[in-house]
Structure 1
Amino acid sequence: MNSILEDLYYGRWRPDESIKSSNSRTRQINRQISDYMAIYKKNLTEQDFEQLEKLFELVGESNSIHEAAAFMHGFRAGALMMIDVFSGEKEVL
């Protein structure tokens, strides 16, 4: 079994790709998005639909940047908590 640090170094660990939502609302929303895209593809000109697809790509890129920032923030917060735990006063039970 590889270490997480080795997987991270070699690019085999991509937490953004391994997240699977168990929330049924997510599946419902994704289904609605697909339905709307099919409607837009049918009713819009090819050029207008391409612009809509580009908009979705930009929104996806923006979301990805935000997710990366949230991941780093959460990781840093967790590390700070561990520092606090290990450097805090030692309590005697």
Structure 2
Amino acid sequence: MKDNMPNLIEDLFYGNLRLDESIHPEHAEYQKINRRISDFMQNYKIQHSENEYDALEGLVDLIGQSTSMYVEAAFEQGFRTGGRLMIEVLCRA
């Protein structure tokens, strides 16, 4: 391995491998959708009471937690599938 190449095993061991921080969806609509969500939340805050806005924020937080758990499970499943695929490829070589 070249000296300037990252060592994934060391990064994993030392806790430096943060894949969730390097995810940048390339879908053209991603940024547009996030802007719409932000605009919606800002408008909701202006048009509704503090209690109503807090309730919406609580719901958004719960959806975020649920989505995070789903993405984690999807990542694990994808990683396992990739590992099984590599084993199958190497065993039949």
- Aligning the two structures, in what range does the TM-score lie when normalised by the shorter sequence? 0.7 to 0.9
* Structure 1 residue aligned with 2:22: 18
How many residue pairs are counted as aligned between the two chains?
Answer: 89
C-alpha RMSD of matched pairs (Å):
1.3
* Structure 1 residue aligned with 2:13: 9
Q: 1:9, CA displacement in angstroms?
A: 2.3
Identical positions, percent: 42
Q: 1:22, CA displacement in angstroms?
A: 2.1
> Structure 1: which amino acid aligns with 2:17?
W
Q: 1:81, CA displacement in angstroms?
A: 0.6
Q: What is the TM-score with the length of structure 2 in the denominator? A: 0.87
* Structure 1 residue aligned with 2:76: 72
* Structure 1 residue aligned with 2:43: 39
> Structure 2: which amino acid aligns with 1:60?
G
* Structure 2 residue aligned with 1:48: 52
* 4+ residue segments displaced more than 6 Å: none
1:33-87 per-residue CA deviation (whole Å, 9 max, x = no partner) reads: 0110011000111011011111111111111111111111111001101111111
Structure 2 unmatched runs, 5+: none
> Structure 1: which amino acid aligns with 2:35?
R
Q: What is the TM-score with the length of structure 1 in the denominator? A: 0.87
* Structure 1 residue aligned with 2:87: 83
Q: 1:10, CA displacement in angstroms?
A: 2.2
